[in-house]
Amino acid sequence: MLESPHGRTGVIPVTEALLFDFDGLILDTESPDFQVWKEVYADYGHELTVGLWAQNVGGSWLSRYNPYDHLEELLGCSIDRNAVKAGYKARAREIILEQPILPGVQDYIKEAKEMGIKVGVASSSDHAWVDGNLERLGLLHEFEVVVCAEDVENIKPHPELFLTAAARLNASPARTIVLEDSPNGARAAHDAGTFCVVVPNPLTAQLPFDHGHLHLNALSDVPLAQVVALAAER
């Protein structure tokens, strides 16, 4: 028995799974990524706006906006893509390695396990990136499933990643809570039929969100038990 946020007491339907996004939710890779590309644009005398970059957040820029193509369009000539890519990756890695696990992530994992809720990751990035960083952070073993771009035909904002992760955990989407930081991810969670908690990072906090049942500044603001109670009342 749990007391609901509205004061009523009753049986709370079981939350079966808790799904984490990775980039920007477990680790803030989104802000460094934008920062470095902004520096690349500045080196060529141009400005990269948040609005343009936002097309890629939580999804794949290969299918939307390609910064290499865009730079060449602005310049009217080709650039040394290999050199730009090497410089970008080195600088981004340098910044990302300094980033801590975001507040509340480890507490939510611990609370979920104490409550008998299965935990997983659903990310539009590839396994090499997600698994590698989770292992480096000491978190890989905490998740029962990690579903990435290679595992599905459609990444976010399509709901397939979340539906696949829930299925692998033998969880109903309606009894699954998704933690997301991006509009693309929130839309995917909504379309999957899950309860979506939006936790923007410094970059995505500047973007409009059309979906999300609960918006938090950080996971550390609200204990998981309270989120589970809210999910039961939607």
Is 33 among the catalytic positions? no
Integer angstrom CA distances of residue 3 from 8, 10, 226, 229, 231: 6, 7, 9, 8, 13
CA distance 181 to 176: 17
Is 21 among the catalytic positions? yes
Q: Where are the beta strands (DSSP E) in the chain?
A: 2-3, 9-10, 17-20, 118-122, 145-147, 176-180, 195-198, 214-215
Closest CA to 55 of 44, 46, 63, 45: 63
In sequence order, the 6+-apart residues with CB closer than 8 A to the CB of 127 are 146, 148, 150
CA distance 8 to 128: 46
CA distance 193 to 174: 6
CA distance 70 to 51: 14
Q: Which residues are catalytic?
A: 21, 23
